[in-house]
Structure 1
């Protein structure tokens, strides 16, 4: 099955007061600073943390309800909602997608109570595990209710649960057999959300040697295990390593080869990266390579990942990368998006020139403090392009013709 996320819905999460964002194989957001682009990525990251850690830890790591809730308007908001729709059960389609929605609500307690507020969650899964059958799992207040007419799901019914319990996080919370159709569908969305990667390379960490382990099969969100990931890519024996080398030589012509070695000042189970460069004796350790060289190596590595998650988010994909390299980067990104979805942000007109209108999302910020995402429909973008006699889309955006300017 081609599992994928079709769209994201967010209400009152930071500046995202009412955002409904369709997600295709490749979605690129543009717009001024503070327009809400990063908040879209953070909303998805929040769902990922809920699936891995639970609702309360995910809230606490972000400073709690007050920090996450929209701070504009006359009155404080009392509910945050983040939801996705997509295809993860057997009979879901674009016309009848599966859905997951999480809401976190806060109510004021009566005077004299030990706490000022009570926080509780609402959670709902809707899936299509059989032809013509829609089932649901809903958590409200202190109960969980399964609604299903499928014999394989059993009788369903309601059970008592904690007010902050989450079926997205707790596998055994459902009163269903593990192999029942609805439980399998809930497990699929749990797994996909837990694997969402918000890729933001930390160049200092990526430069360092890294221990050889199974983690090398998956490039960490901060690229801290880059050396081990590259080792795994090379040892796999597939085409990915040679294609990566070819791309690196194209965008950094001085580099002849990439070597993976055990550094002399470390024990044998660590891997370090060394670059063989044109005209230089010896090799350049990655710890001594330029910031931009390391970052572009991280980006190319993520595009050649042979085992990507369902969705990878990348903040400011063009940051620190020469404009002439962005065309190749965009091409590799589009190729990678045939294997998994990508949601990225950029401030580069050069990069936007490589996109199609359906991949391009304009973000703006209203005077009220709320984000407007998307601020323009793809058909409106196409009309502007046609009217301009097919000027490059990045140039049109930079000129202000497509919105999303200062």
Structure 2
């Protein structure tokens, strides 16, 4: 489980160190930085997928994503005594992301390349990566270090050079990692690759979830929901069918589902509702009903991830469905770490009633995203590697 997330110089986040628990609810008014925090986490996940540089490029590059405010916001600026103003940068331009886990922690620093004749001078480079033992960075706890093109690992009281010519666009997760020499790299890579993000469920009239799809065992729902029927059938066969039917009945009293097996190995969803003489197909369901079934399939997965992130899961849902959704999320948090980014007050209130909920309320002051009520002494301990 992650204990701390740290972000520096990403969009509206000048510097943010956030404590994490098993169930985390991220809220705040529009424009407070919820989406930027979510995108920073997705960017961090790309390090283990080999796509962090391309992901930054899709966002407009480092110049577009880098913190646009002054390098330092002084006390007089915060109090309004003087206007917010900048000056020549005293430090090199670096976008930093990192997290502290129970066993291992990781941080990455990205910057622009040195001037050259290459056509790719706007591509960010990975300047530094570090993996250390435990949640708090100390030089003595450092296990793996990448500085520029060189990657080295601690070997007793000395260092073993694993690579000397690592491309600036490749993470150390792409270059090293096996059970014999680098078990911590392998473990962290698999943990990060196991993170799941759900924010693009399609419910339009042409959404794949509304159409019969080829059925194959599906323990993990696709991020757009295209294999909904197969995922629900998988839950019924190898996971917890009682929990599935209870979740449907909790939201739609008297309702139940069935997965029809069609010619050619295709599966189709049938939704039985009290008072109707025939089942409704997925194509006939409202956007809210279909989205709720997608959330059920994601949250009752037979293969829980290390972390699941739901971005505005309340979209298209009737407010009366939100307490049932909260109960599903709380149940899922017993199996994996949960993030919920939301501005639905009813969902937030239902989640915050759980004793293990960690509510994070964001605010923006002088263009900078921060956590409401978090002072310097309230921040989790965090040190960026030198």
TM-score calculated relative to the size of structure 1: 0.77
Superposition pairs for residues 267-282 of structure 1, below 5 Å? 267-282=263-278
| Structure 1 counterpart SS, 2:245 | helix
**Partner in structure 2 of residue 141 of structure 1:** 148
1:61 Cα shift?
A: 3.6
Residue in structure 2 matched with residue 224 of structure 1 by the alignment: 226
Following superposition of structure 1 onto structure 2, how do residues 165-180 of structure 1 map, counting pairs within 5 Å? 165-170=170-175, 173=176, 178-180=178-180
Alpha carbons of structure 1 residues 333 and 115: separation in structure 2 relative to 1, 3 Å: closer
In structure 2, C-alpha distance between the alignment counterparts of 1:306 and 1:115, rounded to whole Å: 43
Q: Which stretches in structure 2 are left out of the alignment for 5+ residues?
A: 71-85, 135-139, 376-386
Is 1:371 aligned with 2:384? no
Counterparts in 2 of 1:155 and 1:65: CA distance versus 1, 3 Å: closer
Task: After TM superposition, list the pairs within 5 Å mapping 1:154-303 onto structure 2.
Answer: 156-157=160-161, 159-160=163-164, 161-170=166-175, 173=176, 178-180=178-180, 183-200=182-199, 201-203=201-203, 204-214=207-217, 216-236=218-238, 238=239, 240-253=240-253, 255=255, 257-263=256-262, 267-303=263-299
Partner of 2:73: none
Q: CA deviation at 1:58?
A: 3.0
Report how far residue 314 of structure 1 moved.
Answer: 0.5
Deviations 1:217-246 (A, max 9, x none): 11122222111111111121x4x2221112
Q: Which moved more, 1:352-361 or 1:297-306?
A: 352-361
Measured at CA, do residues 21 and 206 of structure 1 come closer, stay the same or move farther in structure 2, by a change above 3 Å? farther
1:390 alignment counterpart? none
C-alpha distance in structure 1 between counterparts of 2:149 and 2:245, whole Å: 55
Contact 2:27 2:343 in 1 (8 A): yes
Deviation at 1:6, TM superposition (A): 1.0
**2:50 corresponds to:** 53
**Aligned-pair CA distance for 1:116:** 5.3
**Offset of residue 291 of structure 1:** 0.7
Cα distance in 1 for residues equivalent to 2:41 and 2:33: 13
1:213 to 1:66, Cα distance in 2 relative to 1, 3 A: farther
Structure 1 segments (4+ residues) deviating >6 Å: 112-115
When residues 142 and 277 of structure 1 are mapped into structure 2, their CA distance, relative to the original with a 3 A threshold, is same
- Say which SS state the counterpart of residue 217 (structure 1) adopts: coil
Task: Give, in angstroms, the shift of residue 101 of structure 1.
Answer: 0.5
C-alpha distance after superposition, 1:357-382 (max 9, x if no partner): 85211011123x2211x22259xxxx
Task: Report deviation, 1:260.
Answer: 0.6
Give CA deviations for 1:8-62 in whole Å, capped at 9, x if unaligned: 1011122222111111100001111221112222222112222113433333343
8 Å CA contact 1:365–1:371 kept in 2: the answer is yes
SS in 2 for 1:221: coil
Kept in 2, the 8 Å contact 1:143–1:162? The answer is no
RMSD across aligned C-alpha pairs, in angstroms?
2.8
Q: CA deviation at 1:210?
A: 2.3
Q: 1:209 to 1:41 in 2, by over 3 A?
A: farther
Per-residue deviation, 1:148: 3.2
Task: Specify which of 93, 96, 116 is matched with residue 81 of structure 1.
Answer: 96
Matches within 5 A, 1:335-346: 335-346=331-342
Q: Tell me, in whole angstroms, the C-alpha distance in 1 between the residues paired with 2:359 and 2:45.
A: 24
- Give the superposition deviation at 1:249: 1.7
Question: Partners of 1:332 and 1:55 in 2: how far apart?
Answer: 32
SS of the equivalent of 1:324 reads helix
TM superposition shift of 1:284: 0.6
Deviation at 1:289, TM superposition (A): 0.4
How many residue pairs were aligned? 345
Unaligned stretches of 5+ residues in structure 1:
93-97, 379-406
The answer (yes or no) to whether the contact 2:197–2:308 under 8 Å persists in 1 is yes
- How far residue 347 of structure 1 moved from its aligned partner, in angstroms, is 1.4
Distance verdict in 2 for CA 1:117–1:297, change over 3 Å: closer
Could you say which residue in structure 1 is the equivalent of 2:361?
A: 362
Give the C-alpha shift of residue 159 in structure 1. 3.2
Output the CA distance in 1 between the equivalents of 2:254 and 2:208: 23
